Amino acid sequence: MRKNQLASILFAVLLALIIIPILFPFIWMLMSSFKTQVDIISWTPRFIFHPVMQNYARVFVEQNFLQYMKNSVIVSVVSVFFSLVLGLPAAYSIARYKQKKLSIFILVARLMPGISFLMPWYIVFSRLHLMDSYIALILSHMLIALPLVVWVMSPYFDSVPRELEEASMVDGLTQQRAFLKILLPLSGPGIVTATTLSFIFSWNNFMFSQVLSQQKTRTLPIAVYNFLSYVEVDWGAVMAAAVTIMAPAIILTMFFQKYVVKGLTMGAVKG
């Protein structure tokens, strides 16, 4: 009995040691978004304070934050959609026909730092007069989302028994219709996983938007710059903007958490 209690206490302590360092920055950021500038920069950290809403008022009233949010939604949703349209058939082809060279090429593209694509993208989009356009941002974000979709879904399709597909083709379905009607429904958790991770990476992307967008298509991560100046940093507004940016990704992750875990684990087991 005592051993079980001791084990439970040790587990709780270890869990706290892991969770607290992870959650503390977010909790501090959330608290700071309701503090005045004086409370934030106070030498002694203030955990008890009078909350104010002026930081969020500056974010949504004084700045064009809703336009930035609209841009982020358009770029993230469209880039993830086309990444799924192209990535799911590619992942199926790699899994069924063992196209190792193609998978290695996609892996290399995924592992390459995004900054290595910036100069070519900038030159191409400048020549095509596509700077500060949704097309430029969507294509650049697909560099992140498309390889991710392929690498999440390839082992998942490989884990689906080939006999199910062959049985449906015996019943009269073509290979394309078997892919749409049999494999995709069975791969639901994997698709949710790939969609969630791709959306989060696209939503939080800063580098491509910094170089390829201007006033018209700026996304949320770039909007934080509006609260930085040479004179001072409006930390309250920065924290409020950061909370606003992180909220959709956190909500999406919490909502699809069980599907993401299921998708990642099921794709690792064949058969």
* Res 43 pLDDT > 60: yes
pLDDT at 88: 94
Write out pLDDT tens, residues 45-71: 888 889 999 999 888 887 778 889 999
pTM metric for this prediction: 0.84
DSSP readout, 202-265? Answer: HHT--HHHHHH--TTT--HHHHGGGGB-SS-B-HHHHHHHHHHHHHHHHHHHHHTHHHHHHHHH
CB 212 within 8 A of CB 114: no
Confidence label for 81 from pLDDT (cuts 50, 70 and 90): very high
What is the model's pLDDT at position 264? 58
CA neighbor of 51 nearest in space, from 39, 64, 69, 65: 39
**Is the predicted pLDDT of residue 92 greater than 70, yes or no?**
yes
Do residues 88 and 150 lie in contact, with contact meaning Cβ atoms separated by under 8 Å? no
Q: What is the pLDDT at residue 79? A: 96
- Read off the pLDDT of residues 108-164 as tens digits, 9 standing for 90 and up: 777 777 778 888 888 999 999 999 999 999 999 998 899 989 988 888 888 888 888
Q: Which helix (H) or strand (E) holds 142?
A: helix 134-159
- Measured over the CA atoms of residue 83, residue 86, residue 89 and residue 92, the dihedral's sign is negative
Residue 78 has pLDDT above 80, yes or no: yes
CB-based contacts of 262, cutoff 8 Å, min separation 6: 189, 193
270 pLDDT above the threshold of 70: no
Q: How far is CA 174 from CA 133, 153, 158, 181, 184, in A?
A: 39, 21, 19, 10, 14
Average pLDDT, the chain: 85
What digits encode the pLDDT tens for the residues 187-233? 888 898 899 889 999 998 888 888 898 888 989 888 787 777 766 78
pLDDT at 269: 46
Which range (87-101, 223-237, 241-255) has the least confidence? 223-237
